[in-house]
Amino acid sequence: MSLKTPEQYEESLRKMNFKIYLLGELVKNPVDHPIIRPSMNSVKMTYALAQMPEYEDLMTVKSHLTGEKINRFGHLHQSTDDLVKKVKMQRLCGQQTASCFQRCVGMDAVNAMDSTTFEMDRKLGTKYHDRFIKFLKMMQAEDMTVDGAMTDPKGNRGLAPHQQPDPDMFVHVVEKNDKGIVIRGAKAHQTGAVNSHWVMVMPTIAMTKEDADYAVSFVCPADEKGVYYIYGRQSCDTRKLEGGTIDVGNSQFGGHEALMVFDNVFIPWENVMMCGEYEFSGMLVERFAGYHRQSYGGCKVGVGDVLIGAAALAADYNGAAKASHIKDKLIEMTHLNETLYSCGIACSSQGHKTASGTYLIDLLLANVCKQNVTRFPYEIARLAEDIAGGLMVTMASEKDFKNPEIGKVLEKYMQGNTDICSTEDRARILRLVENLTLGTAAVGYRTESMHGAGSPQAQRIMIARQGNLEQKKKLAKKIAMIDKK
């Protein structure tokens, strides 16, 4: 099987043996848990869209390894066209879910792992790339969702991994034998962790010789013995326990992050893809981060499309759509959103082939893309809140609307432009704006825009490194006729 149906994906998760803590309790049935379920639905959408003929070209691709038709989320980019289609696919998924659909971290991890293990083997004579390809074939054949795990808790940020008072602040090797390695530590903010079949673990920073035990990469089943999860809270998450569909804003879809703990987990050698080769840790981090910074030029744009649409509807329902300042604000939101998309497309179309044959984005442009993502969604959200009006955060609850006595009162006083909307329609759109700007989806649209794929300063370091200031100085000197000899 190379393409799972959405139903098969859901069933495959039911067979897994996850250990997940949420709100202080062990979760018995994650797939149907009301807080987790919407995030599973978002990943499920990546399987559903791949079944639709109209999205076949974006969502599926021929595997360069087997010739089979596979989901693009499991593909190694073979051209700049593949890189562009990746961004378009992510915009589509963002539009369809209005949330983080989580599956990109695995896609970005395998693309980074491919070229890095290839170049590492070539320089050091290691044998990691063959292991990686074996894993990738399984991932493609079983249409797996893989979680790319990079971010360590890091403890005291002023200290290197080996200097930390608690050695577990970075994932590390605690034992090596002829069968494999034993791993301890944790990965923080793991997007889509409990909706994934396998996990691909990577180091979080460039390492030095003293940190060799921390330069470790491997794959393991997401429900491996010794792996457990502590589910992250999101603003307004317990509204999902109330059973309604209005107050949550987006009752069908969502995203999630979790703390992923490795408590002495055994990894057989066949699943190890870096173990002590600290010189290649930085390359893996830089490439994974670059791909994920490109990703944001697609996914956040798709979610932005929904937010712009919601703001425009809120204006229609308020009867304010004809006001010139409203029209101008919607133009500004569109301009900002399409600027992000332009960056996503630009870094893709300017990509290049690496030694393994896999295409890498233009790293400078990918970092510029993500730097803009740390800013523009905030302005788009600000304008959406401006257009929506204060009712978005002062409106009564769904239960009040359904109360036989006060429901009628709310219907009367909360009405808008009754020619085109019911009071409930108006409430639904305002709650959607709330969800995207302040609620559960704000994790993905706002704070993740800031810190996901690396905080703003991480991009500025890369921009400084890739910006080629010396060449720009030469250009200026030439025009100004300085040192002209």
N-terminal to C-terminal alpha carbon distance within the chain: 67
Catalytic (active site) residue 299: yes
In the complex, least distance from residue 226 CB atom to ligand SF4, rounded to whole angstroms: 25
Q: How many helices (H) and strands (E) does the chain have?
A: 18, 14
Nearest Cα neighbor of 201 from 112, 328, 125 is 112
Residue closer to ligand SF4, measured from CB, 70 or 314: 70
Considering only residues 404 to 443 of the shown chain, the ones binding ligand SF4 according to CB under 6 A are none
Residue closer to ligand SF4, measured from CB, 161 or 444: 444
Stretch touching ligand SF4 by CB under 6 A, among 59-67, 138-146, 372-380, 444-452: 444-452
Q: What b/e readout covers 353-391, taking b as 16+ CB neighbours within 10 angstroms? A: ebebebbbbbbbbbbbbbbbbbebbbebbebbbebbbeb
Tell me, by CB under 6 A, how many residues bind ligand SF4: 12
CB of 351 closer than 8 Å to CB of 361 = yes
In the complex, least distance from residue 94 CB atom to ligand SF4, rounded to whole angstroms: 6
Q: Which residue in the set 30, 232, 344, 452 belongs to the binding site for ligand SF4 (CB under 6 A)?
A: 452
Handedness of CA 152, 119, 145, 93 (dihedral sign): positive
Residue closer to ligand SF4, measured from CB, 374 or 423: 374
Radius of gyration of the chain (CA): 24
In the complex, least distance from residue 296 CB atom to Fe ion, rounded to whole angstroms: 7
Say how far apart CA 444 and CA 162 lie, in whole Å: 32
Taking residues 278 to 297 in sequence order and writing x for each that binds ligand SF4 by CB under 6 A, - otherwise, the string is -----------------xx-
In the complex, least distance from residue 368 CB atom to ligand SF4, rounded to whole angstroms: 17
Residue closer to ligand SF4, measured from CB, 377 or 452: 452
Contacting residues for 239 by C-beta, under 8 A, at least 6 apart: 247, 248, 439
CB of 359 closer than 8 Å to CB of 77 = yes
Taking residues 79 to 108 in sequence order and writing x for each that binds ligand SF4 by CB under 6 A, - otherwise, the string is ---------------------xxx-xx---
Nearest Cα neighbor of 201 from 175, 183, 223 is 183
Considering only residues 399 to 458 of the shown chain, the ones binding Fe ion according to CB under 5 A are 452
CB of 361 closer than 8 Å to CB of 291 = yes
Under DSSP, is residue 362 helix (H, G, I), strand (E, B) or coil? coil
Under DSSP, is residue 221 helix (H, G, I), strand (E, B) or coil? strand
In the complex, least distance from residue 189 CB atom to Fe ion, rounded to whole angstroms: 8
Considering only residues 118 to 147 of the shown chain, the ones binding ligand SF4 according to CB under 6 A are none
Catalytic (active site) residue 104: yes
Please pick, among 292, 347, 354, 374, the residue that the annotation labels catalytic: 292
In the complex, least distance from residue 427 CB atom to ligand SF4, rounded to whole angstroms: 27
Alpha-carbon dihedral of residues 227, 233, 234, 236, nearest 10 degrees?
140
Handedness of CA 299, 305, 307, 308 (dihedral sign): positive
Please pick, among 257, 385, 398, 434, the residue that the annotation labels catalytic: 257
Catalytic (active site) residue 292: yes
Catalytic (active site) residue 296: yes
Residue closer to Fe ion, measured from CB, 330 or 441: 441
Considering only residues 295 to 314 of the shown chain, the ones binding ligand SF4 according to CB under 6 A are 295-296, 299
Q: Which residue in the set 63, 191, 217, 250 belongs to the binding site for ligand SF4 (CB under 6 A)?
A: 191
Residue closer to ligand SF4, measured from CB, 330 or 441: 441
Residue type for 372, please?
N
Please pick, among 191, 358, 374, 437, the residue that the annotation labels catalytic: 191
In the complex, least distance from residue 106 CB atom to ligand SF4, rounded to whole angstroms: 9
Q: Does 298 bind Fe ion (CB under 5 A)?
A: no
Under DSSP, is residue 262 helix (H, G, I), strand (E, B) or coil? strand
Catalytic (active site) residue 448: yes
Enter the DSSP assignment of 445: I
Catalytic (active site) residue 229: no
Residues 218, 222, 228: CA angle, nearest 5 degrees: 105
Residue closer to Fe ion, measured from CB, 161 or 454: 454
Tell me which residues touch Fe ion (CB under 5 A).
452
Write out the residues near ligand SF4 by the rule CB under 6 A: 100-102, 104-105, 191, 295-296, 299, 444, 448, 452
Residues marked active site are found at 100, 104, 191, 257, 292, 296, 299, 448
